[in-house]
Amino acid sequence: MQKRKLGNSNLDVSAIGLGCMGMSFSFGPPADKNEMIALMRAAVERGVTFFDTAEVYGPLVNEELVGEALAPYRGKVAIATKFGFKLDPKGGTQWIGLDSRPEHIKEVAEASLKRLKVEVIDLFYQHRVDPDVPIEDVAGAVRDLIKEGKVKHFGLSEAGAATIRRAHAVQPVAAVQSEYSLWTRDPEAEILPTLEELGIGFVAYSPLGRGFLTGTVDENTQFAPSDFRSFLPRFTPEARKANKALVELLKQVAQRKKATPAQIALAWLLAQKPWIVPIPGTTKLHRLDEDIAAIEVELTADDCRELETSAAEIAVHGARFPEHLQKLVER
């Protein structure tokens, strides 16, 4: 497995990480705990050293799962987790608002350390920008945690360029995590140039379009009631039918490269910048192997131009999120 450095930080991680959210949250019923522990350990054996979770996934149970699975590999892997949501005090499965007050950030850090069974959090992201708390206060709270030895690196998720600059001026940001793929290219306009200028790494979540870019989802796919894709505008049957053109493009290139559409989608991301790390998620060992093998797919400059030019001519149907969630991104 190749390694990549996230920006100017000293955080070296595997070129492809593993997003763990779907193991216990969002994509239907939670997967079998023991199977997911085995899957994460298999990932480590294959060279994956970067794992992504969050307090809100579950909530809480995904951090516990990751903590148990990776306990034998302390010091050999990097675990990223996130703060910034207000959880239902009655124990519900839904968050009830944002909360990035410094005192709350520190409470979350203490709880996450225990669930993850670690002494220090490798990468601590603000999950979504909180308009009620100045980003300077957020960065200052994480700076305090870094000084106390409880956090190594500060990250932001779905933050806008101006917010990134303000946070970075208080506490250097190691990585920004946002959705990025051939069907979500929003970061290219302002975010990626800003990160390159400041020396910040980029972590691409949903690099396979929540499964759509693998070619295994079409307009006839039926989602479980607990699968949040059933609520996303981009995943209505009509949108899925219209968006198949993008999958066909990936299939064309994949056939030529003797690869799969998923591998082409990941290889394209890896070819964009040496400081971009995609974190595809899966609950299946054969998909994990497929994703990791994307590192071996070499796309030429002509291949990338073909993908980018052709993709730009395909109008992607449907917003990423429902309106109330779309308001939370790129503040």
Residue pLDDT, tens place only, 59-91: 999 999 999 999 999 999 999 999 999 998 877
Q: Is 125 a catalytic residue?
A: no
pLDDT band at 304 (very low <50, low <70, confident <90, very high): very high
Give the separation between CA 323 and CA 285, rounded to whole angstroms: 34
Give the separation between CA 51 and CA 44, rounded to whole angstroms: 10
**pLDDT attached to residue 26:** 87
User: Which of 57, 125, 180, 205 is labelled catalytic?
Assistant: 57
How many other CB atoms are there within 10 angstroms of residue 254's CB atom? 20
pLDDT at 293 exceeding the cut of 90: yes
Peptide bond into 237 cis (omega under 30): no
Assign a CATH topology to domain 3-326: TIM Barrel (3.20.20)
Contact 54, 21 (CB under 8 A): yes
What is the residue extent of each domain of the chain? 3-326
Residue of 322 and 101 predicted with greater confidence? 101
pLDDT at 233 exceeding the cut of 80: yes
Phi-psi region of 206 (alpha: psi -120 to 50; beta: other; left: phi over 0): left
pLDDT band at 92 (very low <50, low <70, confident <90, very high): low
Please tell me the pTM assigned to this model.
0.96
CA angle 118, 276, 122 (to 5 degrees): 10
**pLDDT attached to residue 324:** 80
Contact 172, 147 (CB under 8 A): no
Q: Mean pLDDT, to the nearest integer, of 250-266?
A: 97
Give the separation between CA 239 and CA 39, rounded to whole angstroms: 32
Residue of 27 and 46 predicted with greater confidence? 46
Q: How many CA atoms lie within 13 A of 37 on its CB side?
A: 13
pLDDT at 328 exceeding the cut of 90: no
pLDDT band at 330 (very low <50, low <70, confident <90, very high): low
